[in-house]
Amino acid sequence: MKNRHILRKALAFLLTVPLVVACEEEDFSADYDIQLPVSKIIDFNPKTEFVDKEITLYGENLDLVTSVSIGNVSCPVISREKGSMVIKVSRTTEAGNISVSNNYKRSFTTDLAFTPKYLDMSISKWPSEIERGLTISINGQNMDMIQSVKFESVTLSKAAVTITTATYATANLELPESGRLIITSKTGQVLTSGVIKVIAPKDTYIPKTSIMVFDFDETLPVVKDGNPTGPGAAYTAGYNLSSVSPFFGKHYSLIAARGNGWDGQYQMLESTNGGKGFDLTNFTNPYITFLVNTNGKQGYFNPAITIAGSESDKHFTGQGGEYKDNYKISTQGWEWRSYNLEAMGWSNIKSNVEKIAFWIRGGNVGNGNSEAFEVHIDQVMITDGPLNPNLMFDFETMPSFNGGSASQNGGSGVAAAGQGTKYLTVKDANTGSWSWKGNILKGGTNPAKYAPNKTFYVNFLVNTGNSSGGYFQLIFEQSGGTKLGHHFKGDNPYKDNYKFAPTNGKWEWRSYKIDPAGLENWGSVPELDLMKPFDFTVDFTSGNVSGNYETNVDYFIVTSVPLDTKIQ
């Protein structure tokens, strides 16, 4: 038994020796390389075809193909089999070789090039006039077949094009006073308009930076006592009185058991901007804009402005029906108000203003009655146009957060922004660039009030904590295939470049101008229609941030003018 056991062990050893030697002598790659299948195109027909039409590819393993392109343009796959596939020629295709890639990431490119044929255009509507510096729209069929657009000898730059509409920009171009648009198509057509006049922009302008008069936190007024008389003369004044929740940090309050009507003034809040005054010479449409809250009661104040040494005051009386003021103001909470200073009677307001004041007085509160008086004021500004606010998010209530995780007041050592008591935090301690973090959406915003000026601003407060940075992008969507994006690129005054410039734990305003014709087209319609509601998405992505990502945001609001008074 013992000898048999030794024999079996010896045979087992000898059987293993050739296997060891074979492993040492044989090149692994000779017999063990895996040959992944390549999808090859042997032929295709036709060799030239109109865009939007189909061509058939013939070859091997075409059922494995995941993408097809002609030159650099991707083409949709209509059908596929192992030996053939049908693709559609994209409308933007140029002459080029056909390439395929399959699900094994193996690629193949033909030696023979495909040549597309283009479609003739037809114009149904030319612009009736050109507003200097703005975009023009030309309507018709096959507008994406345009090769070039000139106004006389000046070449216009393409802004956005669909099959039925072509939008071209005239910004920074020296156009003659009148002339003809000349369009050359990819088929060689030359289409010419009638004579079109070039005019100054109508009711459009880029608003000047808003000027803070007093915000009661960093910019304080000089407070002077007035001369109230009569039964309503007693009052209490100061910062953040009553049960009213602050809107932006501190606000100014004045409360009386009853209004004193027109029997003098309670107080005057004044600013000379440190003796420099307020330069409104370049303003197109000066408004006085502020937040007011009467806490369900009634209050009143009115502006007084000094120009060339002469002080005069005007009154809030409803401003054409927009507000229900009648020498008194009543609100249930905080409201933004904007009043046209020229319409109020200051015909010389576009000048150097020496002093701006609010006279807090009874007005029609207590004018022959016993009404209680209460008023709270904040964020007094001069804006180049009305504010026209549309509040998106203030985060006092947590919005629905989609696709990720977020929290209220979750910043790393970050205090509340001063706008209410809550803010939104999205963060990741170790992220790669362009990693999606989730989003929030506000539906049904009506932008019609921004149509006259053909632009609007998205304003928000941001704080990146002490992280490497934070970021998000904006998305605007409308029915009919409109999906438009806005990135914060490096050509802005904040130096945000696909990530917010670090705020070092402080809250900073951002006021970004949105051009409806200049957004990134992520859908099928290239321009936002300001006469249709849009859905607004704040889409959190890490952008150019890698490592520690933190974005704290508060108070998203869409306006006609910038809320940031420090933007240059």
Q: Model confidence over 220-236: pLDDT tens digits?
A: 999 999 999 988 999 99
Q: What is the 3-state secondary structure (H, E, C) of 446-488?
A: CCHHHCCCCCEEEEEEEECCCCCECCCEEEEEECCCEEEEECC
Specify whether the CB–CB gap between 389 and 413 falls below 8 A: no
Residue 520 clears pLDDT 70, i.e. is over it: yes
Query: Taking the C-alpha atoms of 293, 294, 296 and 299 in order, what is their torsion angle to the nearest 10 degrees?
Result: -150
Mean pLDDT over all residues of the chain? Answer: 89
* Residue-wise DSSP of 157-199: EEEEE-SSEEEEE-TT----SEE-EEEEETTS-EEE---EEEE
* Mean of pLDDT values over 258-281: 95
More confident residue, 36 or 273: 273
Position with higher pLDDT, 489 vs 266: 266
Nearest to 510 by CA among 493, 534, 485: 493
Residue 511 has pLDDT above 80, yes or no: yes
Average of pLDDT values for 12-29? 39
| pLDDT reported for residue 30 | 41
Q: Does the pLDDT of residue 21 top 50, yes or no? A: no
Copy the structure tokens of residue 174.
């020296």
pLDDT(84) > 50: yes
Round to whole Å and give the CA distance between 334 and 365. 19
**Record: fold of 211-384:** Jelly Rolls (2.60.120)
What whole-number distance in Å separates Cα of residue 212 and Cα of residue 215?
7
Kindly indicate the confidence band of residue 6, based on its pLDDT and cuts at 50, 70 and 90: very low
> pTM of the prediction?
0.67
Higher pLDDT, residue 324 or 498: 498
Task: Give the mean pLDDT of 133-143.
Answer: 87
Task: Report whether 563 contacts 457 (CB < 8 A).
Answer: yes
Q: Which of 66-75, 258-267, 316-325 has the lowest mean pLDDT?
A: 316-325
Query: Is pLDDT at 52 greater than 60 in this prediction?
Result: yes
How high is the pLDDT of residue 408? 96
Residue 508: its pLDDT value, please?
94
Query: What pLDDT does residue 448 have?
Result: 83
- Residue ranges of the chain assigned to CATH 2.60.40.10: 40-117, 122-199
- pLDDT at site 568: 64
> Which pLDDT tens digit goes with each residue over 414-459?
999 888 899 999 999 999 999 999 999 999 998 888 887 889 999 9
Superfamily of domain 390-559: Galactose-binding domain-like (2.60.120.260)
Task: Check if the beta carbon of residue 67 is closer than 8 Å to that of residue 42.
Answer: no
Say which range, 49-53, 365-369, 508-512, has the weakest mean pLDDT.
365-369
User: Has residue 130 got a pLDDT over 60?
Assistant: yes
CA quadruple 339, 341, 344, 347: dihedral, nearest 10: -160
From the list 558, 538, 559, 250, the residue with the least C-alpha distance to 419 is 250
Computed over its alpha carbons, how large is the radius of gyration of the chain? 34
Distance CA(275)–CA(286), nearest Å, equals 20
Class of domain 122-199: mainly beta
> Which one is predicted more confidently, 171 or 559?
559
242 Rama sector, left if φ>0, alpha if ψ -120 to 50, beta otherwise: left
Which carries the bigger pLDDT value, residue 126 or residue 324?
126
For residue 283, give every residue at least 6 positions away whose Cβ sits within 8 Å of its Cβ, in sequence order, or none.
Answer: 208, 349, 350, 382, 384
Q: Name the H helices within 355-471.
A: none
Average of per-residue pLDDT across 111-136: 91
Inter-CA distances, 150 with 76, 127, 147, 181, Å: 33, 13, 10, 6
Mean pLDDT to the nearest integer, 270-284:
96
Cα–Cα dist 293/242, whole Å: 11
Question: Residues of CATH 2.60.120.260 domain(s) within the chain?
Answer: 211-384, 390-559
* The predicted structure's pLDDT at residue 321: 66
pLDDT grade for 54, boundaries at 50, 70 and 90: very high
The model's pLDDT over 149-193, given as tens digits with 9 standing for 90+, comes to 999 999 998 876 878 888 888 877 899 999 999 999 999 999 999
pLDDT the model gives residue 294: 96
Please give the C-alpha separations between residue 440 and each of 343, 424, 553, in angstroms, as whole numbers.
Answer: 39, 10, 12
Fold of 40-117: Immunoglobulin-like (2.60.40)
Distance CA 464, CA 427 (A): 9
Hey, which residues does 485 pair with through a beta bridge? Answer: 475, 520
* CA gap 193, 195 in Å, rounded: 7
pLDDT attached to residue 134 = 77
